[in-house]
Amino acid sequence: MKNIGIFCFLMMFCLQFSYAQIDGSKGIASLEKVKETNEKVMTMFTQNMIVEGYNILRTIWIIDESEIDHMQGLTIKYFNMLESQYGETIGFIQTSEEIVQDVAYKVNYVLKFEYHLLKFTFYYYQGKDDKWFLNSMFFNDNMKELFGD
């Protein structure tokens, strides 16, 4: 468990500081579409379709493509390790969401394995042309966070 927490922290740290020049075609026009996009990504992750999930995120994530490639590779390795320890994925649920006016949106999901879980957090920012951009996404297996501990 300790190694998993360190791994997730390092991924989150690297991604928070690796912003790229934003492509004008990136972004999502409405918050409703953001929610649909998150559902698609979580469905892909539940089906262990990591590459497909990241391909969806590429259209809205404001970090450099090479960073997305790196995180995608680490996620594939991480999921393989988790499945060997905690069984197959069996679904996901949205656990919370928070909107700060028309500026920021945060949503949490739990990806369920047979014997454990991963908590996913997505942060969006509404910026240029009123589009929503994925600012950061991270996951960890710290169940305590679900309870505010």
Distance CA(51)–CA(31), nearest Å, equals: 24
Q: Which two tokens stand for residue 140?
A: 């960890």
The answer to whether residue 9 scores a pLDDT higher than 60 is: no
What distance lies between CA 144 and its chain's CA centroid?
A: 19
Query: What pLDDT digit, counting tens, does each position of 34-57 carry?
Result: 999 999 999 999 999 999 999 999
Nearest C-alpha neighbor of 50 from the set 18, 19, 80, 30? 80
Q: Which fold has domain 2-16+27-140?
A: Nuclear Transport Factor 2; Chain: A, (3.10.450)
Work out the pLDDT band at 14, boundaries 50, 70, 90.
very low
Distance CA(92)–CA(119), nearest Å, equals: 10
Which DSSP helix (H) or strand (E) runs through 142?
Answer: none
> pTM of the full predicted structure?
0.82
| 53 CB-contact burial (10 Å; exposed 0-12 / middle 13-18 / buried 19+) | buried
Work out the pLDDT band at 132, boundaries 50, 70, 90.
very high
Write b or e for each residue in 21-30: b if 16 or more Cβ atoms lie within 10 A of its Cβ, otherwise e. Answer: eeeeebbbee
Angle at the Cα of 51 from the Cα atoms of 50 and 55, rounded to 5 degrees: 115
Domain boundaries, the chain: 2-16+27-140
Q: Which two tokens stand for residue 80?
A: 């393989």
Distance CA(111)–CA(19), nearest Å, equals: 26
pLDDT at 100: 97
